[in-house]
A and B are shown apart, each in its own frame.
Chain A
Amino acid sequence: MKKKKTKINYAKWGYRFVIPFVVVYVVFSLIPLLSTFFYSFFEYYFRYGGLEKVGPNFILFDNYVTLFTEGMFFKYFGNTMLIWIIGFIPQVIVSLLLALWFSSTRLNIKAQGFYKAIVYMPNLVMASAFSLLFLKLFSNNGPVTNFLLESNLISETFSFVDQKWTTRGLLAFMNYLMWFGNTTILLMAGIMGIDKSVLESAQVDGANSFQVFFRIVLPLLRPILLFVMVTSLVGGVQLFDLPQIFTAGSGGPEMGSMTVIMYISRLLGVSKQYGLAGAASTVLFVMTAVVSLGFFFIFYRKEVITSKSEKKVKVNE
């Protein structure tokens, strides 16, 4: 007993130090999060373009019904995923290749720090600035369009910004350009974390570099790849500033570059539809969670299955 009393209690300092974070988190994240969820069950908007408040009236799932039946949410979700995937595939491939080159002991690239900095550089530019730059370059009178026109590579009626797929493509390209450096650094960290002796023994056993990559590096890189995928997906789902600036908020040709967050921001823009926007945010959250779990399941299928079968075996016993 005595001994305990004399002991200084350091735990309270721990609690004190986390107070700022907890307070900021609760006020700026948790409360808005819960109120978003809460208001998704209410009819709550402003008539006449934001003038006259309607609600909040409790309507249970009506906002969700609207969201699912109007079909716009899923169209925009499709747009978002499409732009993300078109950008993500080259992003992972290029990043993996760069990561392999940089970490390869055989190639032993010199001035690595320089290249790494260059590769990471686009990420430092603000997304909105990036988007504006591309808009200027590829607009109907922009230098890139004019150059391609003058070299007869595109027809006179061709327009980057007036067509659905070119707009999506450019957005995906921007997203790729901004994030492949970040992915490269992450994957490189993953590759360097792999035990060198495993790779060396594989080489000693006569495996060629393809076999080493596919049989050893890739499987061991799985956790990092999963991390890259999930973070990129969460970022991709929230794609907003690039298309918002690039299309001036209009969603681009045929609304083909309208993302979910742009939709939510549009719902909140003029008529302040807190109800429907809340429902859209909640559904987006659930879908992101489901897709992330899906990735997790795919990557760890073996473990999941084996642990299940182990259980079965145990039950059988």
Chain B
Amino acid sequence: MKKLFVLFMALTLVFTLSACSDDGEGVGLQEEGKVLNIRVWNDEFIGRFRDFYPGYLETKENGQDLLDDGTVVNWIEVANDNNGYQNALDTALANQKSASADDKVDMFLIEADYAKKYANDTYALDVIEDLKIPEYTLSQQYQYTKDIVTDDSGKLRAVSWQATPGLFAYRTDVAEEVLGVSDPAAVQALLDSWTKFDNVAQDMKTEGYVMISGFDDAYRAYSNNTSAPWVNEDDEIIVDNQIIEWIKQTKTYTDNGYNNETGLWSAEWFKDMGPEGNAFGFFFSTWGINFTLKDASKADADGPEAVGNGLFGKYHVIEGPASFYWGGTWLVGAKGTDNPTLVRDIMMKLTASEKIASNITLETEDYTNNMAAMDAIANDAEYGSKFLGGQNHIALFNESASTIDMKNISPYDQGLNESIQQSFKDYFLGTITWAQAWAAFEEKITALYPELELKDIPADPFA
């Protein structure tokens, strides 16, 4: 029995070893790793990659992608909830050095809210110097998409295939009924400042509609226009006047019944986008319109994407009272990758190619990060989004994108934005006072960022 066991172990060992040697015996052509590990939090980029990356051949049964150079792309998807994506990524990056070649993180995705955390020398390859992507190839990308991922020493650490200017998407049928006009230019004229926006909100209420669905809908339109970052150099939290304005507006809207008291991403919020909802409009950036709103607006989720299915074709977009952006995804080449050439190739093709950018926009209605391509589509009189009733939303995005300024972002944005939204929900509902809401905010912050301090509680604007 013992002998059998030893024999078995020996055989296992032989097989393992021989398997190893198989891997190593390249003919000299294959200098880089055979497995490309890409970490993502949803399947948005996976879809883009499969549809638009020229080197993509096929997806195998186990969900890995085969590329034309024989490399296998291994997608590691961890959802964002409760910081899950970042936690898993942190662990993987901490083990980057000791991980075997095929397990190393080669590329990972980041969002604007925590871009600063990863777009630095510790984790990210320098796009220009390490990955040798010539600077001129990136000249058509929006400057803000480069600023946000440029580290303190001026080195570009990531690239993005999309720009995420925000717009206000409204329902033409409601506009016609309440405002008497539905044309984007006319509606924009009625909504180009917050004061006008508030006035229309009152009209909506009178006619049985709500201006926006929930508490946090207008948040980005305010928070993106702050005059300073959330946190100053002494680790003190600075509550900008724009944040106070958002609280003021949302409290007024809630008290007056101008919203439906929904939370972002809740079932009620999605319902408000559909034919059963009574919300006039939504603040959304690129992905929100062609992805979130489009899906939620249908009466029959599996039905055709055509006019007649719910609100398909009934939404239009305008710039609204304030310009803003929301979200955005960047590709980062991970330090320690064993596939730098492939990482470089993917970044080049998916973010720097005008043709691919143009194709992505034409097929998905997403707004891509290539000014030349976007200008062409914006000026194309024949182009129009079917979902937006034939409106050329790219033209509007194009105007909005040039105004995006991300100089005021901080590494704490995600936690602080989420915390203030969560903490003030009770205040809007009237169950807690102004001071209690700030106490709740501080309570959440100390758990998230112990180094931060909220020195002064802002004065109550209603007091």
Contacts and interface: CB of A to CB of B under 8 A. Distances in A.
Interface of A: 45, 47-51, 54, 70, 72, 139-141, 162-164, 249-250, 253-255, 263, 266-267, 269-271, 273, 276
A141 B429 contact: no
A76 to B, nearest CB: 10
B285 to A, nearest CB: 23
B446 interface: yes
Interface in B92-144: 114, 116-117, 122
A253 B430 CA distance: 11
Interface string B228-241: 00000000000000
Nearest to A43: B450
Given A48-B411, A254-B432, A269-B82, A141 B271 contact: yes
Interface stretch (B83-91, B191-199, B392-400, B455-463): B83-91
Interface in B409-436: 411-412, 414-415, 422, 425-426, 429, 431-432, 436
A164 B431 contact: yes
Interface in B282-306: none
Nearest to A250: B422
B440 interface: yes
A140 B443 contact: no
Contacts, number: 80
Given A51-B411, A269-B87, 18 more contacts: A47-B451, A48-B116, A49-B412, A49-B414, A50-B87, A50-B117, A72-B443, A139-B267, A139-B268, A141-B267, A253-B429, A254-B426, A254-B436, A255-B440, A269-B82, A269-B448, A271-B450, A276-B450
A271 B411 CA distance: 13
A270 B268 contact: no
8 contacts: A47-B449, A49-B411, A49-B412, A49-B415, A51-B90, A253-B429, A254-B436, A276-B450
Nearest to A140: B268
A49 B114 contact: yes
A164 B268 CA distance: 20
Nearest to A247: B422
A270 B416 CA distance: 12
Interface string B262-283: 0000011001000000000000
Contacts of B426: 162, 253-254
Range of interface residues on B (Cβ < 8 Å): 20 to 34
A162 B82 contact: no
B83 A270 contact: yes
Contacts of A45: 450-451
A270 B431 contact: no
Contacts of B432: 254
A49 B117 CA distance: 8
Nearest to A244: B82
B411 A253 contact: no
B447 interface: yes
B216 to A, nearest CB: 13
Which 10 residue pairs across A and B have the least CB separation, nearest first? A266-B447, A48-B411, A270-B448, A51-B117, A141-B268, A270-B83, A250-B422, A47-B451, A254-B426, A249-B82
| Most chain B beta-carbon neighbours within 10 Å: one of A45, A50, A162 | A50
A263 B90 contact: no
Contacts of A139: 267-268
B117 A253 contact: no
A48 B450 contact: no
Contacts of B415: 49, 270
Contacts of B271: 141
A273 B448 CA distance: 9
B412 A48 contact: yes
A164 B267 CA distance: 21
A70 B446 contact: yes
Contacts of A50: 83, 86-87, 90, 117
A295 to B, nearest CB: 31
Contacts of B446: 70, 72
Contacts of A162: 261, 425-426, 429, 431
Nearest to B411: A48
A71 to B, nearest CB: 10
Contacts of B117: 48-51
A250 B419 CA distance: 9
A267 B449 CA distance: 9
Contacts of A255: 440, 443
B440 A254 contact: yes
Interface in B165-209: none
Nearest to A72: B443
| Most chain B beta-carbon neighbours within 10 Å: one of A45, A49, A141 | A49
A141 B272 CA distance: 12
B403 to A, nearest CB: 28
Contacts of B412: 48-49
Contacts of A249: 82
Contacts of A163: 431
Contacts of A254: 426, 431-432, 436, 440
Contacts of A48: 116-117, 411-412, 449
A46 B451 CA distance: 9
A269 B83 contact: yes
Nearest to A249: B82
Nearest to A52: B122
Contacts of B411: 48-49, 51
A158 to B, nearest CB: 12
Interface string B46-78: 000000000000000000000000000000000
A122 B89 CA distance: 37
Nearest to A275: B450
Contacts of B83: 50, 269-270
Nearest to A164: B431
B325 to A, nearest CB: 21
Nearest to B429: A162
| Most chain A beta-carbon neighbours within 10 Å: one of B87, B117, B443 | B443
A271 B431 contact: no
